[in-house]
Amino acid sequence: MTDKPRKPARPSRPSRGAPTSKTPAARAKAPAGGKTPPQRKAPAPAAPPARERRAAVPAATEPAAGERLQKALASAGHGSRREIEAWIAAGRVTVDGRRAELGRRIKGSEKVCLDGNPLEIARSESPPRVLVLHKPLDIVCTRHDPEGRPTVFSLLPAAAHERWVMVGRLDVNTSGLLLFTDWGELANRLMHPRYEVEREYAVRVYGTVDEESLELLCRGVESEGEKLAFDRLVPGAGAGMNRWYQCVLHMGRNRAVRRAFEAVGVQVSRLIRTRFGSVSLPRDLEPGEHRELAAAELAKLARQVGLEVPAAPIPRHRGRN
């Protein structure tokens, strides 16, 4: 009888707790139950810090040296720095045919245009100037009025080498002191809230302002989401329902004086600006007339905002107002 071939013996399963042929390192890695753990992917290399990533971006082609575009144009008398920044943000300013961006610097040799019109920047040998205008009623504070109304610039002298920059503005129903200069940096600082330049007004109100309302106006009232407060508020002439007040504030917000009095229930019937910083409205200056500040007056005004009148020529715009 022929012997049948035997099947190979099945390897015996190790009993629990019995040693295995795996190395100690393998046993340490093996989880309970003997299953092989899934292979983990190697961690991706950490991204470089943001500062290094920014450094890897190619530098802009615009020059690193030079003066910021908005500051150069303001110094040249084309407008206030805030106004020019709005032009740049709206894409109205180009440098050498390319749309400018905020932070762009120029050296003075570039071709700068506003709405396609060249803005020439030159240097004048004359010192900076400041004009004091007694603004009449019903005159608008703009360079060009679409409704054809008379503007404050029509009251200024023709300038062969300068372009006047208006320091702040007064609404059409407000009269009094208004400053103009061809020194853009001075205009920018006089209007900037950081320097807290005082504005003083003579105000005639229709209505009764009691002591509680006077105290509230100095502490601050809410109007259109803003807090408005006078630094000083002194009753003046008049009696009954029409009374004059002298008020001082250091903010240049739109219609701030009128809105503050409206917040306590009275109406401003007359408003005259009598002082801006160290410059007061001359008593002998008639509405519509202007005069130029003397050198000492200009130096005093400039020192209020941390400036010294430059001895060397400053950038100016050559062209019409």
What residues are annotated to the active site? Answer: 171
Cβ(80)–Cβ(73) below 8 Å: no
**Helix residue spans in 97-204 (DSSP H):** 184-191
* Two tokens, residue 110: 């570039």
Which residues does 114 contact at the CB level (< 8 Å), separation at least 6?
A: 78, 87, 92, 93
Give the HSE-up count for residue 242: Cα atoms under 13 Å, Cβ half-sphere: 3
- Give bridge partners of residue 179 from the DSSP assignment: 132, 167
* Two tokens, residue 1: 């009888």
Residue type, 97: G
Tokens 């060249």 found at: 118
Question: E strands, the chain, where?
Answer: 67-68, 93-95, 98-99, 105-106, 112-114, 117-118, 121-123, 130-135, 165-167, 175-181, 199-206, 221-223, 226-228, 232-239, 242-249, 267-276, 279-280, 290-292, 315-317
Using only the alpha carbons of the chain, give its radius of gyration: 37
